[in-house]
Amino acid sequence: MAAILLITNYPLDGQQSMWRAAGLIESGLRANGVEVLVAQPQPFFGLIGKILPRLGKWLAYLDKYLLFPIILMSRARRCLLVHIVDHSNAVYLFWLRSQKSIVTCNDLLAVRSARGEIPEHRTGFGGKLLQKWIRAGLRRATHIACISEATRLDVLRLTGKSEQEVSRIYLGLGPAFEAELERKLSSGVVLPPARRQGDPIVLREQCRSRGSATLPIPYILHVGGSTWYKNREGVLKIYVELRRRLGRESPNLILVGPPLESPIHGVCFLQNITDDLLVELYRNAALLLFPSLYEGFGWPVVEANACGCPALASRIDSLVEAGGNAAVWIEDPRDINQAAERVIEALRDDPAKKQSRQEAGFRNACRFSYRNMIAQYLELYTSILGQ
């Protein structure tokens, strides 16, 4: 009998950060000698959605909620504990009534939106039903582990779970980022070698910037998916204002994530990149621009810190947790002029201030150890199995 069943996300949903988090947990458990079985819904009906995109969401539901539960119940019987690594899959607990379970909750933004708590994002009738189902699933969990204190407080408020049933376990840095942090700390190297304006960094992936596979240094970096609260349209608006003010002195902009329609000069989109390349992008960036409207945690802020990249982020509770005293704060990410001004100030920091920010970033990144994350999950597993 396997000890832990990890339930991960549907491949066609394209949730890169969730797959990365699940992979970290799986590898960490296996490295500690824990027997792990992994289960995820597989595309069957959803493959038809590539031909009939308007039906894609509903066909995916058949894969997730009709086919997968049959497989899930069989696999769960072979395990002592079920760990659902994304709260949006908490609905599977309706098929696992007698199973001890942990759910990792990344945020309750969709639940809050469905309840009308986020006026700038409306949820349709079907979405409201799904989020109500997810919240009901969360209530069935033996324990909920939240990736930030801000998320933990939302879970307590919206699920009615007790303090003992909800904890906080921060996301840890992936191996590539921990290795970069350790290299920086052990070598004493802080500021990277100076590059001249126009020196190219070669990107080993397709770059949608006038057909070029290179991009001149310096550049601003944004890392994030296509969800509305990432405020990627806001990133582009801030960049347009930056170019208006700085003209030819403006850095370029790289957005790691799905491409947007953008005729803006100097903007490049990268998708499906490796962690090693992401480390390189952080290492060479002038700064990370992360003006999210809401977040469950803010992994890119910590990753940037580990690579010596200053982070400029929205002053919201979860990002304040992630950024500590190392980040430069945008008070209102909707205020494009103010955000652009903060970017310019950060770009014009003198070398001593830049070095001080990098050193603060390294100290901040050390708080989010991958080993600590795995140790906390192992302790939680032991506690639940001992109940």
Q: Are 303 and 278 in contact (CB under 8 A)?
A: yes
- Record the tokens describing residue 142, joined without a space: 């033996």
**Predicted confidence (pLDDT) per residue in 286-296, tens digit:** 999 999 999 99
When pLDDT is averaged across residues 207-234 and rounded to a whole number, the result is 76
Residues 6+ apart with CB under 8 A from 241: 336, 337, 339, 340
142 and 220 assigned to the same domain: no
**Predicted confidence (pLDDT) per residue in 175-214, tens digit:** 999 999 999 888 765 555 444 444 445 444 444 443 344 5
208 and 128 assigned to the same domain: no
When pLDDT is averaged across residues 144-165 and rounded to a whole number, the result is 97
Distances (CA, A) of 76 to 80, 113, 386: 8, 32, 18
194 and 330 assigned to the same domain: yes
70 and 23 assigned to the same domain: yes
- pLDDT of 97: 84
H or E, element range at 346:
helix 336-347
- pLDDT of 199: 47
- Record the tokens describing residue 377, joined without a space: 């999950």
| Rounded Cα–Cα distance for residues 290 and 346 (Å) | 13
Whether the pTM exceeds 0.95: the reply is: no
Q: Are 219 and 286 in contact (CB under 8 A)?
A: yes
Question: Is residue 232's pLDDT more than 70?
Answer: yes
When pLDDT is averaged across residues 245-264 and rounded to a whole number, the result is 89
| Rounded Cα–Cα distance for residues 85 and 128 (Å) | 22
When pLDDT is averaged across residues 4-18 and rounded to a whole number, the result is 90
17 and 140 assigned to the same domain: yes
Cα separation of the two ends of the chain? 19
213 and 75 assigned to the same domain: no
Q: Are 121 and 229 in contact (CB under 8 A)?
A: yes
| Rounded Cα–Cα distance for residues 97 and 54 (Å) | 34
| Rounded Cα–Cα distance for residues 198 and 219 (Å) | 10
When pLDDT is averaged across residues 212-239 and rounded to a whole number, the result is 85
- pLDDT averaged over the chain? 90
- The CATH number assigned to the domain holding 21 equals 3.40.50.2000
- Residue 4's pLDDT band, with cuts at 50, 70 and 90, is very high
- pLDDT of 205: 42
| Rounded Cα–Cα distance for residues 88 and 269 (Å) | 28
- Residue 216's pLDDT band, with cuts at 50, 70 and 90, is low
Q: Say if strands 214-216 and 200-202 run parallel, antiparallel, or are unpaired.
A: antiparallel
Q: Are 143 and 164 in contact (CB under 8 A)?
A: no
Backbone angles phi, psi at 167, to 5 degrees: -130, 175
In a 3-state reduction of DSSP, which class is residue 332? coil
311 and 354 assigned to the same domain: yes
110 and 143 assigned to the same domain: yes
Cα 220 vs. chain centroid, distance in angstroms?
19
Which has the closest alpha carbon to 46: 36, 26, 60? Answer: 60
- pLDDT of 190: 55
Which has the closest alpha carbon to 215: 283, 165, 281? Answer: 281
35 and 111 assigned to the same domain: yes
**Predicted confidence (pLDDT) per residue in 325-366, tens digit:** 999 999 999 999 999 999 999 999 999 999 999 999 999 999
- pLDDT of 56: 87
- pLDDT of 211: 39
Residues 6+ apart with CB under 8 A from 23: none
Count Cβ atoms below 10 Å from residue 50 Cβ, excluding itself.
Answer: 11
Count Cβ atoms below 10 Å from residue 101 Cβ, excluding itself.
Answer: 24
Residue linked to tokens 């995109």: 53
34 and 158 assigned to the same domain: yes
Domain count, the chain: 2
- In total, the chain counts a number of residues equal to 387
191 and 167 assigned to the same domain: no
| Rounded Cα–Cα distance for residues 122 and 127 (Å) | 10
Which stretch of 44-53, 70-79, 189-198 has the lowest confidence by average pLDDT? Answer: 189-198
- pLDDT of 209: 42
| Rounded Cα–Cα distance for residues 6 and 22 (Å) | 8
Which has the closest alpha carbon to 272: 85, 41, 38, 11? Answer: 11
When pLDDT is averaged across residues 164-172 and rounded to a whole number, the result is 96
Question: Is residue 382's pLDDT more than 50?
Answer: yes
Domain holding 182, by residue range, is 175-365
Torsion (CA) 146, 152, 290, 332 in degrees, nearest 10:
170
- pLDDT of 294: 95
Question: Is residue 374's pLDDT more than 80?
Answer: yes
For residue 146, what are the β-bridge partners? 105, 168
Which has the closest alpha carbon to 310: 243, 366, 359, 256? Answer: 359
289 and 183 assigned to the same domain: yes
- Record the tokens describing residue 47, joined without a space: 């493959």
